Amino acid sequence: MGTASSGCSVGGDNADMSMMLNTPAVLLVGGMGTRLRSVLPSTPKPLASVGNKSFLELLVRQLRCQGIRRLVMCTGYLADRVESEFGDGSGWDIEIDYSKEPNPLGTAGAIRLAQHHLKHVSDFLVMNGDSFLEIDFRRLVRFHRGHKGLVSMAVVKVENANRYGTVQVDTENRVIGFMEKAGSDRPGLINGGVYILNRAILGYIPEAPASLEKDVFPRLLSQGVYALEQHGMFIDIGTPEDYARAQQLCDHLYEAALYQPQPDSEPPEFGDCNDDRER
């Protein structure tokens, strides 16, 4: 694989830069993508193409453009395909380590397995590998450190929350509960699939396969779980319908991935998402 230009130059003050350089990102990319088999019969879901790039490459570029230089990819299904695509990360001027599940461990179990890559950090970023959220990572890290909780999650308000379940948040931005899918079309705050976790959370993850969202976060509400609402685009590619929507929005996805949230800055302009100029 040839060198891939990052397509961005990272700005911000020295304190912000240091904060992001010292915050590793864990990407959960081991899911089997069962619901997408009809359109992606032999491709790992995070490697699904959006325009001429994989969905996961958009996430990598987004992280790189906001100053994060160290990634840990938690792989599972077709793990070798993911590692072959990204290698050690040098093509993007980043460092990538891999943690391969021997069997499905769930989102929490995958993080527990990867803990040897997180020995010397106090906090780390976690992202689902099948969803994209327009977000200022630095703002989320500052929010997390200001609230001093175990978990800070990005949440998004959607008009129809029935397929996601909702996050209940009080006036102090503290999460007070989670509601399962209600089966009715109504608005609500949903989990945006991006978190900052204090390393102490590893002590609350069971050795058995477990889900962050269902098994870990609900048990930690008294320890401090906070939510920061985001107002940008959110999309996941968990169903054929949403994957088709991602194709329609690929220009916006590319623009958002390379945008550096800074005062008085404008997003870069992009042409056709099938333009291969950045590759």
At residue 265, the pLDDT reads 45
pLDDT-based confidence at residue 67 (cuts at 50, 70, 90): very high
Angular region, 12: left φ>0, alpha ψ -120 to 50, beta rest:
left
Residue 55 tokens, joined: 């969905």
The band of 184, judged by pLDDT with boundaries at 50, 70 and 90, is low
pTM of the shown model: 0.89
Residue 273 CA, chain-centre distance (Å), reads 21
Tell me the pLDDT of the chain averaged across its residues.
Answer: 87
Give pLDDT tens digits for 124-154. 999 999 999 999 999 999 999 999 999 999 9
**pLDDT-derived band of residue 189, with 50, 70 and 90 as boundaries?**
very high
| DSSP designation for 174 | B
pLDDT score at 1: 44
What backbone torsions phi and psi does residue 193 show, to the nearest 5 degrees?
75, 20
Q: Which pLDDT score, from 0 to 100, does residue 62 have? A: 96
231: Cα separation from own chain's centroid? 16
pLDDT in tens, 21-62: 889 999 999 987 677 777 777 788 899 999 889 999 999 999
| Surface-to-core class of residue 269, CB atoms within 10 Å of its CB (0-12 exposed, 13-18 middle, 19+ buried) | exposed
Stronger pLDDT, 13 or 36, i.e. the higher one:
36
Residues 78-107 have pLDDT tens digits of 999 999 999 999 999 999 999 999 999 999
Can you tell me the distance from the alpha carbon of 215 to that of 206, in angstroms, rounded to the nearest whole number?
Answer: 9
pLDDT at 104: 94
- What integer is the mean pLDDT of 149-170? 92
In order, the DSSP letters of 45-74 are GGG-EETTEEHHHHHHHHHHHTT--EEEEE
Higher pLDDT, 242 or 174: 174
Q: In this structure, what token pair is assigned to residue 86?
A: 């990204």
Asked if the model's pLDDT at residue 273 lies above 50, the reply is no
Three-class secondary structure of residue 176 per DSSP:
strand
Are 228 and 143 in contact, with CB atoms under 8 Å apart?
Answer: yes
Residue type, 56: L
188 DSSP β-pair partners: 158
Greater model confidence, 249 or 160:
249
| pLDDT the model gives residue 173 | 98
Which amino acid appears at position 140 of this protein? L
Domains of the chain, CATH where assigned: 14-257 (3.90.550.10)
Catalytically active residues are 181
Contact 66, 260 (CB under 8 A): yes
Q: Which of 20-29, 112-121, 137-146, 259-268 has the lowest mean pLDDT?
A: 259-268
User: In the chain, where do the E strands start and end?
Assistant: 25-28, 49-50, 53-54, 70-75, 95-100, 123-128, 131-133, 151-158, 166-169, 175-179, 188-198, 225-230, 234-236
